Amino acid sequence: MNTNHFIIPSITQKPDPVIIPSLLSFFSFSRSYTPKIPHTMAETCPLPSIAKCTVDTCPLSCAQLDYLPSLAGNALFATLFALLLAVQVGLGIRFKAWGFMAGMVCGLILELVGYAGRIMLHGNPFNFNNFIM
């Protein structure tokens, strides 16, 4: 019976010389890399101050986002995450999965905060506090 169907590499076998340089170049940090920096609001906004801006008076290029977030879509997802939060708390208490429930509840609360910020950005996209929320 021939048992040479499988080739088992030995410890002394040298690695493929084509793979090693490509991996080294991939993980090499010695090359100079300049990341693309997105345009800041100061570069795209023609106004000196956005303190009293509204959607009707200022262009969206001066806002925190270049678009107006959808109120219906963000409200839908906020409602969905609120329902999932209630279900997760109920299931976590029922099955006594405290650690998993704590992680899921924290994540769902952060999702709700994010969608609440986007809902507030729909009303005033120039407010930085709504953006960092």
Give 85's contacts (C-beta < 8 A, 6+ positions apart). Answer: 105, 108, 109, 112
Place of tokens 């905060």: 113
pLDDT tens for 63-115 read 888 889 999 999 999 999 999 999 999 999 999 999 999 999 999 999 999 99
Contact 69, 121 (CB under 8 A): yes
Q: What is the pLDDT, as a whole number, of residue 116? A: 95
